[in-house]
Chains A and B, each alone.
Chain A
Amino acid sequence: MKRVDGRKPTEIRPVEMKVGVVKNADGSALVRFGNTEAIAAVYGPKELHPKHLQDNEKAILKCTYMMAPFSTTERNKPGPSRRSIEISKVIKEAIEPALFLEEYPRASIDVYILVTQANAGTRTAGINAASLALADAGIPMRDLVSAIAAGKIEGEYVIDLNGDEEKVTLADIPLAYMPREGKITLLQMDGNLPKEDVKNIIKLAIDTCKKLYEMQKKVLKEKWLKEGVE
C-alpha cells in the first residue's frame, strides 16, 4: 500500500527535534513530524501559589496544551476549548509517571505546550517535546516518554497518521510509552475495530516509540556533546 504522502505503512514522517528553543524557560524543546509541530517549555520547580494547592509530599505537575490560531487550515479560535482541556489532562497523565515529583514537595512544575502546526498527531508531538524539555530542565526522571499515533487504513496498520489519513483511518490510537520501563502512559482510541487489530496497532506504536526514544536521547546528548564533554 502506498500512503497519500508516499510513505510505507510503518514509516514516520520526517522528524525534527531541537532542545533549548525558549530561552526564558528552564527547559524547552521543539518536535516536528512533517507538518505537525509543537514547542514545549518547562518552568520550575517553583513555589506554588496559592499555598492551599501545595502538596507536602510532592511537586504538582501542571500541563497546558494550546493550539496557535494559525496552526490549522481553518483558523482555530484562540483560548482553551473542551478538546484542549482534555488533551492537557491526558498529557499530564502521560508525563507524570516518568517524574520523581517527591523530590520537590510544595513546588510546582509547569509545562506549556504550544502547537504551531497541526496536521494530526499534535498531542503525541507535544508529549515528545515535553519529555525533552523536562530532561533539559534537569527534572529528575525515571525515563523519557515517547509518543506516536497509529491506525488502520485499507487493511494495513499505519503509523504516524497525517491529517488526510486521520479522516479515513478505521481507528486513531495515540500512545505514549516509557521505553526503558516498558509502560504505556497514554492510550486513547477513536474508531471501531476488533481487539486483535487494536493489539497489533499498539504493538506497532510501541515499536515506533522505541525508535523515537533513540532520537530523543541523541538530541539531548548532542546539546552538550557539541560543546565537548570528552
Chain B
Amino acid sequence: MNKVFKKTRDLVLPGELVVESMDYLPGRNCFREGNGIYSKRLGLVYFKGRVVEVVPLAGPYIPEVGDMVIGEIKEVQYSGWIVDINSPYQAFLPISGIREFVDSLKTDISKIYNTGDVIYGKISVVSALKTIYISMKEPQTRKFSGGRIVEISPVKVPRLIGKGGSMINLIKNKTKCRISVGQNGRIWLQGEKEELAVKAIMMVNEKSHTTGLTEAVERLLDRGE
C-alpha cells in the first residue's frame, strides 16, 4: 500500500513522514525507516519521479566540486592560502591553483593574496573527510577590488539565481549592478543602484519559500528610485 502524505512544495520538519511506501526512494535530506521516508530537515518537499527530496530552508553551506564561492583569505602559508568560505570547512588554495607559476622559495606570496583579500574561486576538490581545495585558474575567478559584500542564507542561493539565472539577471538589469553570486551565500556587487540591489537580494533571502516572489522582486525594483 502506497501512502503519500505530502505533495511537492509542502513544508516539512525533521522527522516528519513524507511517504510510506517501498516504491519511493529517499533522496537528499531524507531517510528511510521501515516503509517510511522521513525528512531530515526543515524544508520543502519535492518529488522527482520516485525520489523524495527536501530542499532545506536553513543550514550551512557544504562545498561541492564546481561551486563558485566567495572566500576571504584567512592565512598566508608557505605553499598556499587558507580561505574562509562561510562553511564548517575551510578551504585551501594551493599555489598550484593559481594562474601564474610561482616559485615559493623566491616569492612572498602574500603579494598575490593577503589576509583579508576577497576572492571569487571555484571548489576543485572535496574529499570524504571534507578537505576542500579551491582553484583560481578558471576564467570567472578573480580577486575583488572595490564593491561590497552581502550575505544571505546559503540555502537560498538557488532561488536568488532563479531558473536559468532569471532572478539574478532581473536584479542585474534593473539595478545596473555587476553581481557575483557565491554558492556559499556571499554576494558581491558594485554599480549604480547598489542599495536597491541589496534590498532585492534581501527580499529573496527572506521570502524565498513564497510564491509570487519574482513578481514581488520586480515590483520592488520598479518602485526603486
Q: Which B residue sits closest to A99, measured CB to CB?
A: B14
Instruction: Give the contact stretch, choosing among A39-47, A116-124, A147-155, A165-173.
Output: A39-47
Instruction: Give the docked Cα–Cα distance between A176 and B99 (Å).
Output: 56
Least CB distance from A95 to B in Å reads: 12
Chain A residues with a Cβ closer than 8 Å to the other chain, count: 36
Check if A140 sits within 8 Å of B40, measured CB to CB: yes
Contact of A140 among B41, B90, B209 (CB under 8 A): B41
Complex CA distance for A163 and B14, rounded to whole angstroms: 33
A227 to B11, CA, bound (A): 12
In this assembly, does A141 line the interface, its C-beta being within 8 Å of a C-beta of chain B?
yes
Of B14, B15, B44, the contact of A229 (CB 8 Å cutoff): B44
Structural contact, A56 and B207, CB atoms closer than 8 A: no
Interface string of A204-230 (1 = CB under 8 A from B): 000000000000010011001101111
Q: Are A139 and B41 in contact (CB under 8 A)?
A: yes
Q: CA separation between A45 and B206, bound complex, in Å?
A: 21
CB distance from B98 to the nearest CB of A (A): 24
Say which residue of A45, A98, A104, A229 sits within 8 Å of B11 (CB atoms).
A229
A220 CB to closest chain B CB, in angstroms? 6
Q: Are A220 and B13 interface neighbours, CB within 8 A? A: yes
Q: Does A32 contact B (CB under 8 A)?
A: no
Residues of chain A with a CB closer than 8 A to B13's CB: 135, 144, 217, 220-221
Does A174 make an interface contact (CB < 8 A)? no
In whole Å, how far is A133's beta carbon from the nearest beta carbon of chain B? 11
A27 vs B59: C-alpha distance in the bound complex, in angstroms?
A: 9
> Nearest Cβ in chain B — how far from A101, in angstroms?
12
Asked if A56 contacts B40 (CB within 8 A), the reply is no
Say yes or no: A142-B129 contact (C-beta < 8 A), given A46-B88, A136-B58, A180-B15.
no
Interface centre among B9, B16, B88, B207 (most CB of A within 10 A): B88
- Among A26, A59, A230, find the residue whose CB has the most chain B CB atoms closer than 10 A: A230
- Binary flags per residue of B30-68, CB closer than 8 Å to A gives 1, else 0: 010100001011111000000000001111101000000
In the complex, whether B130 has a CB less than 8 A from a CB of chain A is yes
**Within 8 Å of chain B (Cβ to Cβ): is A138?**
yes
CB distance from A139 to the nearest CB of B (A): 7
B140 sits at the interface (CB 8 A): no
Please give the residue numbers on chain B whose beta carbons come within 8 Å of chain A beta carbons, in ascending order.
9-11, 13-17, 29, 31, 33, 38, 40-44, 56-60, 62, 88-90, 129-130, 155, 206-207, 209-211
Sample (13) of A-B pairs whose CB atoms are under 8 Å apart: A45-B60, A47-B90, A98-B14, A98-B15, A100-B31, A104-B62, A107-B88, A138-B41, A138-B56, A142-B33, A144-B13, A217-B16, A224-B57
- Given contacts A135-B42, A229-B44, list 5 more A-B pairs with CB under 8 A: A107-B130, A138-B60, A139-B59, A217-B13, A229-B209
